[in-house]
Amino acid sequence: MADTISRERRSYNMSRIRGKDTEPELVLRKFVFSLGHRYRLHGKNLPGKPDIIFPSKKKAIFMHGCFWHQHENCSVSHQPKSNLDYWMPKLKRTIERDKEHIKALKKLGWKTLVIWECEVETLQKMEGRILRFLGPSKNT
Ligand SMILES: [Zn+2]
């Protein structure tokens, strides 16, 4: 449906205009901060530039948009239904790059966690995954 595509493209443009500090990322950051783990933003020297990194733990979190990274079995994400020649190679490249980045990080001794945008909306699920990844809060 042409309307779906233009909506996706519109929200993509919007998020580009707002820059790196898109809202789900802020929610994620706020939660990680509340746990008391020391983190840095945007690991610029690391493969894939993870959104949040924990240098002392060698752990990195990616926040992925469900459409752009084609979150499987996701209610927010969906495959484009038109302009397939445009979308499919583009989305496929993104997914391949994601895999390469995670592999490259692993080689460097880093552990990675991918948080999907839709998970931020179900906060408890996201919090559980992050706690398992990082270990318990340092504030309690
Ligand atoms: Zn999703």
Residues with CB under 5 A from ligand 1 (ion): 66, 71, 74, 76, 116, 118
Q: Residue 48: left (phi > 0), alpha (psi -120 to 50), or beta?
A: left
Percent of the chain with pLDDT over 70: 84
47-69: pLDDT as tens digits: 999 999 999 999 999 999 998 99
| Contact indicator for 130, 120 with CB cutoff of 8 Å | no
Which of 121 and 107 is assigned the larger pLDDT?
107
Distance 45 CA to ligand 1 centre (A): 27
| Contact indicator for 110, 45 with CB cutoff of 8 Å | no
Distance 64 CA to ligand 1 centre (A): 8
Which of 34 and 78 is assigned the larger pLDDT?
34
Q: Where residue 18 falls among pLDDT bands split at 50, 70, 90?
A: very low
Distance 28 CA to ligand 1 centre (A): 15
Checking if the pLDDT of 23 tops 90, the result is: no
Q: How far apart are CA 9 and CA 14, in angstroms?
A: 9
